[in-house]
Amino acid sequence: MVEAPGVQRGLEDVVALESRICFIDGLQGRLIYQGYDIRDLAAQSNFEEVAYLLWYGRLPTAAQLAELRERFGLLRALPPSLVDRIESMPPESNPMDVLRTAVSALALFEPEEAKPGASSIGGAQRLTAALPTIIGTFHRRRAGLPPLRARPELSQAAYLVYALVDRDPTELEARAIDVALILHADHELNASTFAARVTASTLSDLYSAVTSAVGTLKGPLHGGANERVMELLNEIGTTELAEAIIQEKLARHERIMGFGHRVYKVEDPRATILREWSRQIGEAKGNMRYFELLRKVEAVVHREKGLYPNVDLYSGSIYSLLGIAHDLFTPIFASSRVAGWTAHVLEEYQDLRLIRPTAKYVGPTDLTYEPIAARG
């Protein structure tokens, strides 16, 4: 569609607010959380530390980190009647719909945390601790797995694996998931974070903002892309067919999921790190099929369209090799991004300005109202 003068479709390149939380250098392929390069955080940090960093703007001391870990352990359990509600949702439901509904319902049980404009970090911690439990509760019921326990001794990454596949991860698996959680935790004004900030900017509450964000993340142009990548790999099947199938899709002007980005003009640094983890997990499992297929798809898409992979290209191959169901990939994304969403909502409350852009009206203005009896 041609852009009308004065209209920035998709708000592309519009600078909507100031933020200290996250910086993306789309030309250099750099991603910074509160001043720290994502490559350093992925190599040395862990999800709990990154969540603390996003909320407080500084890295925790050992005591602060231990306290946060303890809080996550305590905050994982859901109110029993919410567990009942989640377990009675239709088993064929989309897990992102379950997540959106359950986040919204959780607010009913926590009126203090869900007060409009509450600036407490308690709600942020509660939601971050609770999301894996919501997804795990739903999945375990539909898969016939035993009920979930809070397992306070587990990190968020290890708890997520236990919740979704009912076994403790190996050290390597736990580290791979921890890195994936670090990399997904924030990404400036991506669509779901923007949705959360728009909601918060009306002085609505944190739980409403996160509900908006979950609904926005679900779409395939955003968090839903990681699930579609695995569908694509299953459709392609073998590396020999990759070239022809991708060519056909491109000829039909289809989008290849896991490629392209609104901000990065070079490779997404998160894709670079996840590619290496996909290789490592593939080697550890003795199954390089996904990795090889993805490398082939990457080569064709780059050659034909000049597009680079984004964060969603390699994540699903890691989750699949751990035995995680495909429709849980986007909920895993949400379990990490909730740290960023809540950090942005808290920042919005600190520097509040109603987010309300305008539209260029292109319809008529001088129609004459006809009584219904006179309309043909």
- Within 8 A by CB and 6+ apart from 115, the residues are 205
Binding mask 4-43 for ligand CMC (x = CB under 6 A): ------x---------------------------------
Q: Which of 312, 326, 327, 366 is catalytic?
A: 312
Q: Which of 261, 327, 344, 366 is catalytic?
A: 261
Closest distance of CB 80 from ligand CMC, Å = 34
Q: Give residues 186-215 in contact with ligand CMC (rule: CB under 6 A).
A: 190
Give dist(CA 41, CA 78) in Å, integer: 30
Q: Which two tokens stand for residue 280?
A: 């490592």
Q: Give residues 281-320 in contact with ligand CMC (rule: CB under 6 A).
A: 305, 307, 310-312
Closest distance of CB 310 from ligand CMC, Å = 4
Give dist(CA 264, CA 255) in Å, integer: 17
Closest distance of CB 192 from ligand CMC, Å = 8
Could you tell me the maximum CA-CA distance found in the chain, to the nearest angstrom? 76
Q: Which two tokens stand for residue 85?
A: 């509600």
Q: Is 225 in the site for ligand CMC (CB under 6 A)?
A: yes
* Contact range with ligand CMC by CB under 6 A, out of 19-27, 221-229, 314-322, 361-369: 221-229
Identity of residue 48: E
- Within 8 A by CB and 6+ apart from 88, the residues are none
Give dist(CA 33, CA 22) in Å, integer: 5
Give dist(CA 151, CA 73) in Å, integer: 7
Is residue 134 within 8 A of residue 163, CB to CB? The reply is: no
Q: Is 260 in the site for ligand CMC (CB under 6 A)?
A: yes
Known catalytic residue at 166: no
Give dist(CA 105, CA 84) in Å, integer: 12
Known catalytic residue at 366: no
Q: Is 221 in the site for ligand CMC (CB under 6 A)?
A: yes
* Contact range with ligand CMC by CB under 6 A, out of 34-42, 82-90, 121-129, 251-259: 251-259
Catalytic residue positions, numbered: 261, 312
Give the interface with ligand CMC as residue ranges (CB under 6 A): 10, 190, 221-223, 225, 255-262, 305, 307, 310-312
